[in-house]
Amino acid sequence: MKGAVITVGDEILIGQIVNTNAAWIGAQLTALGLAVSDMITVGDDAAAITEALTHCLSRAQVLIVTGGLGPTHDDITRNVVAELFEADLQTDESILARVRSRWENRGLDMPNSNHTQALVPEGFEAIPNEAGTAPALISQNGERLLVLLPGVPFEMKKFMIETVLPRVEGLPGMPERAQKTLHTVGIGESDLHDKLEGVSALLDAQRSLAYLPNISGLRLRLTTVGDDSEERLVELEEWIRSRAKEWIYGEGDTSLEEEVGKLLKTKGLTLSTAESCTGGLVAHKMTNIAGSSHYMVGGVVAYSNSIKMGMLSVEEQAISEHGAVSRQVACQMAEGVRKRMNTDIGLSTTGIMGPGGGTVDKPVGTIWIGISTSTSTSAVRLQLRQHRLRNKERAATGALNVLRKVLSKKKNRPKQAFLH
């Protein structure tokens, strides 16, 4: 089966907002085993929307449309769909009551323009919006499904997760399918491909492997369809893990910082960070995880040498002899923050992010990551490229990966010791 995505809005075409909806929906449909045939963005223009709808409906069984369901004059998606299907627009009184109540709960009268959000094309089902005012509009005919969703990302995602994706899974003709995503870090696409040399012998029309790179790492999407899909997925996963275990840190919707947090919590260890080139991004990532207060104690953004020396006890001699971007300084930063905050582990970053500041010995993209425990202190060098913000993200990811590797080798702390 095929799926397609249409996003509607002038603000997307002119680059005023980034079209994250299309990428996210495409990933969800792909995860269910649909082949995404088209992904089209159009402005708030009736002819353009009609053309996109006609094209996609001729090619895909499942069509998701986002945007153009608001109350203003340029929100015309429902009207265009009604005209295309020659369906009358009818007021859904229950939807109208819900929209009105949202305004009344804020002590306001509902504007007349919001009446349009209760208009539903004949033959469509209106699903109330728990997070906004525009309902989802759904038409299903056998294995064909047309869905109109609001363009606000968190409203769209709520509808997709709670209503749309379950309906797609239940469509007649959906094949038996199994899928898993493995997350890797610290290895590039080409190198990982070489590590998995020979995997092609396990792949065919019903068993596939996709490499999905992003700025923080590489995801491997394993998919099997047909009879015995679960068993064949397990076989493929075991083969991959046997050759790439060192770089695989998780699966599904997890993140590197989440997996590192689990290791810290399981082992009963605490963490502090000392960041120069990453500017607090490592600490930001760690504290994005709910419950991180169990293991994340604090951090220092030591951007200047005076802060490195004053707060982290970095020796002036180490900076003058080796430079702020060096193994010696990274180690002293990690050890300094560990001792200052009385944590089990100290993690540090120092580097040259660019675009200027590089030398022959230390070109732009030179990063040192330090890690200190009660028994050892060491540092790892990364050599990244010229793009400052990418370097910042990759350096933070690299630091978390260094921490992951150290934690993977450490034994769990005895419970009675952790209680003290």
Q: Which position has the higher pLDDT, 299 or 416?
A: 299
d(CA 202, CA 345): 42
Single residue among 197, 228, 251 that ends a domain in this structure: 251
Residue 419, pLDDT above cutoff 80: no
Q: Quickly state the pLDDT bin for 410 (edges 50, 70, 90).
A: confident
User: Is 206 found in the same domain as 129?
Assistant: no
Q: Quickly state the pLDDT bin for 197 (edges 50, 70, 90).
A: very high
Q: Which position has the higher pLDDT, 358 or 415?
A: 358
Q: What is the pLDDT of residues 117-166, one digit of tens each?
A: 999 999 999 999 998 999 999 999 999 999 999 999 999 999 999 999 99
What per-residue confidence (pLDDT) applies to 379?
98
336 CB-side CA count, 13 A: 23
> Residue 300 pairs with which residues in a beta bridge?
274
Q: Supply the CATH number for residue 24's domain.
A: 3.40.980.10
User: Is 337 found in the same domain as 261?
Assistant: yes
User: Is 206 found in the same domain as 153?
Assistant: no
| DSSP string over 62-111 | EEEEES--SSSTT--HHHHHHHHTT--EEE-HHHHHHHHHHHHTTT-PPP
Percent of the chain with pLDDT over 70: 98
Q: Output 239-244 pairs: Cβ under 8 A, ≥24 positions apart.
A: 239/199, 239/202, 240/182, 240/196, 240/199, 240/209, 241/182, 243/195, 243/196, 244/184, 244/187, 244/192, 244/195, 244/196
User: Is 51 found in the same domain as 139?
Assistant: yes
Mean residue pLDDT across the chain: 94
User: Is 324 found in the same domain as 303?
Assistant: yes
What per-residue confidence (pLDDT) applies to 417?
38
Q: Which residues contact 258 (CB under 8 A, 6 or more apart)?
A: 250, 289
User: Is 158 found in the same domain as 201?
Assistant: no
**Residue 277 burial (10 A CB sphere; 0-12, 13-18, 19+):** buried
User: Is 190 found in the same domain as 83?
Assistant: no
User: Is 243 found in the same domain as 360?
Assistant: no
> Residue 148 pairs with which residues in a beta bridge?
65, 137
What per-residue confidence (pLDDT) applies to 4?
98
Single residue among 221, 236, 251 that ends a domain in this structure: 251
User: Is 237 found in the same domain as 223?
Assistant: yes
Q: What is the pLDDT of residues 58-77, one digit of tens each?
A: 999 999 999 999 999 999 99
Q: Supply the CATH number for residue 394's domain.
A: 3.90.950.20
Q: What is the pLDDT of residues 233-274, one digit of tens each?
A: 999 999 999 999 999 999 998 999 999 999 999 999 999 999
Domain count, the chain: 3
Structural domain containing residue 216: 177-251
User: Is 137 found in the same domain as 201?
Assistant: no
Q: What is the pLDDT of residues 84-117, one digit of tens each?
A: 999 999 999 999 999 999 899 889 999 999 999 9
User: Is 354 found in the same domain as 297?
Assistant: yes
Q: What is the pTM of this model?
A: 0.74
Single residue among 169, 191, 224 that ends a domain in this structure: 169
